[in-house]
Structure 1
Amino acid sequence: MTAVPVASAPLVLGGRTFDARRPAVMGIINRTPDSFFSAARFASLDAALARAREMVTEGIDLIDVGGVRAGQEGGWVDEAEEIDRVRPLLRALRDELPGVVISLDTWRAEVAEACAGLVDLVNDTWAGADPALVDVAARLGAGYVVSHTGGLPPRTDPVGIDYGAGDDAVVGDVLRVLADGAARALAAGVRPDGVLVDPTLDFGKRTIDSLALVRATDRIVALGHPVLQAISRKDFVGEALDLPVDDRLEGTLAATAIAAWQGATVFRAHDVRATRRVLDMVASIRGDRPPARSERGR
C-alpha cells in the first residue's frame, strides 16, 4: 500500500509534539446533562475527574472539555453557566494531570478568556461564530481548532443543507473554509504549530457529506496543517448503519482507521482504549510503530 501524506508541520500543544505517524487521542468529557451520548455526561466534578484519570490509563493524549451540547436539544446555556461548568474541571485537570494536554470546546471568547492559564487548545466547534475567539486563543498562547459548519450558527442542526452533487462539492467548500480560517488564525497570532483544522463531520452536513469528507481526509491533510477528525458515534455513522448512538462503536472505529491511514493527526473519541488500539494498529501497518512483541516463526 502506498504511504499517505503527513502534515508538513507537527502539532505542538502543552509542550508535547504530535504528528500523523502516531495519531493522538482526544478524550471527551462533557460537563452537560444532555450530551447526545449519555456515557459522556458528567454532572459532578468528581465523576468527571474519575473519568479523566481512567482515560489516562486507556492511552489519552488530550482531554476535550465542553459545557454546552452541540445540537438544538436541551436548554439554553449562557456564558456564565458555561464557565461555571468547565472552569473548575479545567483547573482540577491542570493540577492533577499535568502531563495531559487540555482542550476547551467552546465557541465563546468570554468563556475562553475566563479559562486563561488552564487550556492548551481552544476547540472552536462553530467556525468563528464569535470572531474574537481566535484572538483570545492567540493571546493565551493556546492552539486553535479551525472548523467548518456550512455557515450555520451555533447549536443549529443541519436541515436543508445541500452542497451539490458529488464529493468535490462539499470537499471543495470545506477545503476553502479551512484554508481561510487557518490563515485568519495565523494572522491573529496563533502559532503555526498550534493550528489544527477540522472538517467537522455532521455539523452543517448530511450523512453523504460526512462520508465524503472521511474519504477525502488526505485532501484535507494536504492543506499543510494537522487534521482533527471528530468521528466518535456521530449521526453519520448511525445513519450509514441504521444504528442508535449506543451501537456505533464499530462504525466509528472503521471510519477512524480510514482517516488515520490518510494522515489525520488527532481523533476526538468517547471510547479511548478502542480508539488508541485502532490508531496504534494503523501506525504499525504503515511501519511507523514497531510491534509490541515479535516472535520468530509465528
Structure 2
Amino acid sequence: MRINCKGNLIDLSKPKIMGILNVTPDSFFEGSRGQTIDSALEKARKMIEEGADFIDIGGMSTRPGSEEISEEEEIKRVLPVIQSILQEFPETLISIDTYRAKVAEKAVVAGAAIINDISAGNLDENFFKTVAEMNVPYILMHMKGTPQTMQKNPHYENVTLEINQFFAQKINELRELGINDIILDPGFGFGKTVEQNYELLKNLNLIGFDEFPLLVGVSRKSMITKFLNIHQNEALNGTTVLNTLALQKGANILRVHDVKEAKEVVEIWKKIQ
C-alpha cells in the first residue's frame, strides 16, 4: 500500500485526503472552482492548511453531460496553476485529473506527481504508454461510457463483479507496460445509478483484490443529493457519512471538496482503530 511520489514513499495504509481543485467554469460544485491563478492558489493554500495530502487539479469538467474543451485550452488552464502552486508550496503532491495523454505528460513535466484518469485509458490510445513513460502513480477509474453518455440508463448484472473484472483486465495491461503504482477508483457517479452507487459502496471491501489501494470520491455527488432531494451546497453532512462508511470498507484515499471535515473523519476513524 505504498506509492512512490517524486522519490518519496507514501504509505496509503493510513488514509489520505485528496483535495479537489477545478480550474473550470462549469464543474458541478461551484465551491471547487478556482478559475484564476490567485483564486486557485488561495484554495490550494486552504486545503494544505487543513491537511490535504494531495491536491487534484482538473482543467475540464467531467460532470454528467459536460462538454469537451480543446486539448490546448485544458493545458492552458492547468499548467500555470500547477507551476504557481509548486512555486509557493514546493512540497505539495499534485495529481492531474485528465484523460488526455498530452495533458498528463505536460502536467507531470510541470511537477504533477500523480495521474488521475477517469477513462482508464479508453479515451486516448496513447494514455497508458504515456503513464509508463512518466513513471508516476496512476489512478485507474471505472466509468461506463463517456461523461456525455455515462448516465443514460447504465446497466449491470452485478456492478461489483463487473468492475472487478474491468480492473483485472486493465491492471494486466498496465503491468505489461511496467506500471506498478496503481490506485483503483470504482468511479462513484460515473455510469452508475443511485442504487448501483450504494450497492458498490456496500461491497467496497470486495474491490481491488486486497492488493491495490482504493480511492473513493463521493463528495457532494448525486448519490447524496438525489437520494436526499437536496442541493450540492447542502450535501456536506451526507458526504461525511459516506466517507466514514468508505473508510470502514477499506478506502485509502478520500477525494473531497471539504478537506477539513474529511480530515476530522480520518482522525476519528484512526482513534477508533
Task: Bin the TM-score by the shorter chain.
Answer: over 0.9
**Residue deviations 1:22-57, cap 9 Å, x none?**
211000000000111011111101100111011111
Residue 140 of structure 2 contacts residue 183 of structure 2 at CA under 8 Å; is this kept in 1? yes
Residue 164 of structure 2 contacts residue 208 of structure 2 at CA under 8 Å; is this kept in 1? no
Q: Partners of 2:3 and 2:271 in 1: how far apart?
A: 21
**Residue deviations 1:188-236, cap 9 Å, x none?**
222x2x2100000010110111111111121114341010101100111
2:162 pairs with 1:170 = no
Residues 122-271 of structure 1: pairs in structure 2 closer than 5 A: 122-128=115-121, 129-150=123-144, 152-164=145-157, 169-190=158-179, 192=180, 194-271=181-258
- 1:98 matched to which residue of 2? 90
- 1:119 matched to which residue of 2? 112
Residues 12-91 of structure 1: pairs in structure 2 closer than 5 A: 12-14=4-6, 15-20=8-13, 22-73=14-65, 75-91=67-83
Q: Among all aligned residue pairs of Structure 1 and Structure 2, give the percentage whose two residues are the same amino acid.
A: 30
SS at match of 1:65: strand
Q: Which one-letter code corresponds to 1:161 in the other structure?
A: P
Residue 145 of structure 1 contacts residue 196 of structure 1 at CA under 8 Å; is this kept in 2? yes
Residue 18 of structure 1 contacts residue 265 of structure 1 at CA under 8 Å; is this kept in 2? no
Mean Cα deviation higher: 112-121 or 226-235: 112-121
- 2:270 matched to which residue of 1? 283
Q: Partners of 2:200 and 2:64 in 1: how far apart?
A: 23
Unpaired stretches in structure 2, ≥5 consecutive residues: none
Q: Which one-letter code corresponds to 1:119 in the other structure?
A: A
Give the structure with higher Rg (CA). Answer: 1
SS at match of 1:130: coil
* 1:154 Cα deviation after fit: 4.1
**Residue deviations 1:4-28, cap 9 Å, x none?**
xxxxx323323141323x2110000
Q: Which one-letter code corresponds to 2:119 in the other structure?
A: W
Q: Partners of 2:248 and 2:160 in 1: how far apart?
A: 18
**Residue deviations 1:121-150, cap 9 Å, x none?**
110012212131122122112111111112
Q: Partners of 2:69 and 2:230 in 1: how far apart?
A: 29
Q: Partners of 2:23 and 2:203 in 1: how far apart?
A: 32
* 1:248 Cα deviation after fit: 0.8
- 1:293 matched to which residue of 2? none
Residue 71 of structure 1 contacts residue 157 of structure 1 at CA under 8 Å; is this kept in 2? no
User: Higher relative contact order by CA 8 Å / sep ≥ 6: 1 or 2?
Assistant: 1
Q: Partners of 2:142 and 2:220 in 1: how far apart?
A: 19
Residue 178 of structure 1 contacts residue 199 of structure 1 at CA under 8 Å; is this kept in 2? no
TM superposition score normalised by structure 2: 0.94
Q: Partners of 2:150 and 2:95 in 1: how far apart?
A: 24
Question: Which 4+ residue blocks in structure 1 deviate beyond 6 angstroms?
Answer: none
Pair 1:100–1:16, CA change in 2 (3 A): farther
SS at match of 1:123: strand
SS at match of 2:254: strand
Q: Which one-letter code corresponds to 2:235 in the other structure?
A: R
SS at match of 1:226: coil
Residue 135 of structure 1 contacts residue 189 of structure 1 at CA under 8 Å; is this kept in 2? no
- 1:107 matched to which residue of 2? 99
Q: Partners of 1:258 and 1:72 in 2: how far apart?
A: 25
